[in-house]
Amino acid sequence: AAKYWQRRRFIHGLRVDRIQPHDLHALMLSRENPLVVDLRHPLELQSNGVKLPGAMLIAPDAIESGAANLMQGKEVILYCS
């Protein structure tokens, strides 16, 4: 349970604005080219079968353990369901 709350605090500590799909698409086509991170569990991806084009698949645990370094200096958009 403690890990869950740590992860929630970390994610909420990031910018928590919401973005509409058409706005994300426009942003991805612009020069800004944000880093889109898909935080869904691999089993959910398997059952759903839909992947976000260009998104980096990262488990929430990996963000806490160092993958955050990959995101420095970029606008990051987290996708979870």
CATH number at residue 40: 3.40.250
**Tens digits of per-residue pLDDT, 36-68?**
888 888 888 888 778 888 888 887 777 766 666
Of 7, 80, 11, which is closest to residue 45 (Cα–Cα)? Answer: 80
- Whole-Å CA distances, 61 to 22, 24, 48, 54: 29, 25, 21, 21
Residue 6 half-sphere exposure toward CB, CA atoms < 13 A: 9
Domain that holds residue 37: 2-79
Predicted local distance difference test score (pLDDT) of residue 71: 66
> Which pTM value belongs to this model?
0.66
List 57's β-bridge partners, or say none. Answer: 38
For the chain, the domain total comes to: 1
- For residue 15, pLDDT beyond 80: no
